[in-house]
Amino acid sequence: MLRIRLARFGAKKRPHYHIVVANAEAPRDGRFLEQVGTYNPQHPIERQSIALDRVDHWISMGAQPTERVRKILSAYRNAKKAA
């Protein structure tokens, strides 16, 4: 099963995440199929970069986003709609 999830990068106490499509059994920061965006919790949602077309493509192929990624995508879509 494919998951759209966060892979942690960045320094200690200063996380930075990549939003990736990976096999559900793969390690958190391990092998992934495609990076579809980045997320930095220290910046507002408008400054994040997420390829919504690629996310929608992977969801149509059966990938399931994690709960945290689902919330990030929802906030990002609402921010883009408002802008």
Percent of the chain with pLDDT over 70: 100
What integer pLDDT is reported at residue 76 of this predicted model? 96
Give the global pTM: 0.92
What tens digit of pLDDT does each residue of 19-59 get? 999 999 999 889 999 999 999 999 999 999 999 999 999 99
Nearest Cα to Cα of residue 38 among 48, 52, 28, 27: 48
Domains of the chain: 2-82 (3.30.1320.10)
What integer pLDDT is reported at residue 69 of this predicted model? 98
What integer pLDDT is reported at residue 83 of this predicted model? 76
13 touches 43 (CB < 8 A): no
What integer pLDDT is reported at residue 51 of this predicted model? 97
